[in-house]
């Protein structure tokens, strides 16, 4: 098998992701690292969360939903297919499952639950442990192709929608998206909240209603709009053609394309390059 990076080492927002009335909506899967807080409701395909993740709103999973131990959900959990709930989970609303329900001990569901398939009461294995053991078993049996297919399916490498991934210990809300990792935001997204990350990449035609702040580089692709300040402690800010920043920029270096617009004050401690043409991905030529 080829070696792949940790899928939760980056805040990754796939193309066409939007925030609608306090719901975070994506076409693909949602993967959330342990000990994170997500104040939005979540609407996606498969929703997988590590232990001690707190959801401020509801969860709507068109496919499966798997929540590890000590997770809490502030509203309903609606699952189109199967659900796997670890022990000591709290759901403040109703649980509705279209398929089978695998549920652990001491799970509290305020408004009751219903499942169309089998209901098994036990302690489901934590998601990360389950996947690791399954992959290890396949590899020990020499089933490299089967293991490769499993990883491809999990991470949609054969043309499916890219998963939305939130790293361990993150906080995501209308106020701010706070992570200690790089943040990669896809194209045609519409997000609310200030973004705080190690580095930030904003895709084409994405609109962000909030500021951007990073320790390293910030790249804003063609057609993207940022309604807020853009600040980096020691990196370069790149504003591509037709990108708009409605706020101030503070950085070490600035690359401003010919048709990029900054409606605010620019403070750069190093070089300021203006009038550049850019590649389609927003990088200066």
User: Each residue of 191-206: pLDDT tens digit?
Assistant: 999 999 999 999 999 9
144 or 78: which leads in pLDDT: 78
d(CA 252, CA 197): 16
What's the pLDDT tens digit per position in 103-127?
A: 988 999 999 999 998 888 766 555 5
**C-beta separation of 217 from 235 below 8 A:** yes
Measuring CA to CA, which residue among 131, 246, 170 is closest to residue 13? Answer: 170
Token code pair at residue 90: 């709290």
- Kindly tell me if the per-residue pLDDT of 16 is higher than 70: yes
Domain spans of the chain, in order of start: 11-121, 182-276
pTM: 0.84
> Per-residue pLDDT averaged across 13-18, rounded?
96
**What pLDDT was estimated at residue 13?**
96
Q: Which helix (DSSP H) or strand (DSSP E) does residue 209 occupy?
A: strand 207-209
Distance CA 15, CA 260 (A): 22
Q: At residue 128, does pLDDT exceed 70?
A: no
Mean pLDDT of all residues in 34-56: 94
Rg (CA), the chain: 21
Average pLDDT over residues 6-11: 76
């Amino acid at each position: 098998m080829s070696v792949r990076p940790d899928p939760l080492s980056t805040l990754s927002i796939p193309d066409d992701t939007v925030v609608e009335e306090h719901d975070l909506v994506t076409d693909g899967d949602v993967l959330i690292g342990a000990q994170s807080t997500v104040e939005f409701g979540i609407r996606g395909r498969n929703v997988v969360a590590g232990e001690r993740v707190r959801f401020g709103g509801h969860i709507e999973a068109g496919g499966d939903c798997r929540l590890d131990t000590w997770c809490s959900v502030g509203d309903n959990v609606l699952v189109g297919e199967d659900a796997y709930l670890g022990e000591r989970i709290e759901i403040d609303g109703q649980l509705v499952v279209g398929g089978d329900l695998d549920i652990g001990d001491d799970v509290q569901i305020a408004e009751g639950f219903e499942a169309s398939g089998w209901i098994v009461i036990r302690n489901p294995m934590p998601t990360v442990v389950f996947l690791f053991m399954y992959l290890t078993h396949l590899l020990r049996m020499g089933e490299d192709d089967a293991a490769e297919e499993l990883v491809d399916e999990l991470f949609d490498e054969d043309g499916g929608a890219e998963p939305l991934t939130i790293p361990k210990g993150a906080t995501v809300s209308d106020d701010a998206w706070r992570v200690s990792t790089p943040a990669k935001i896809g194209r045609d997204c519409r997000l609310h909240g200030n973004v705080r990350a190690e580095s930030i990449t904003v895709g084409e035609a994405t609109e962000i209603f909030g500021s951007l702040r990073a320790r390293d580089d910030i790249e804003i692709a063609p057609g993207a709009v940022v309604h807020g300040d853009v600040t980096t402690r020691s990196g370069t800010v790149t504003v591509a053609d037709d990108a708009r920043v409605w706020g101030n920029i503070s950085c070490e270096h600035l690359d401003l394309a010919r048709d990029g617009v900054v409606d605010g004050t620019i403070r750069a401690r190093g070089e300021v390059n203006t009038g550049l043409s850019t590649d389609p991905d927003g990088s200066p030529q």
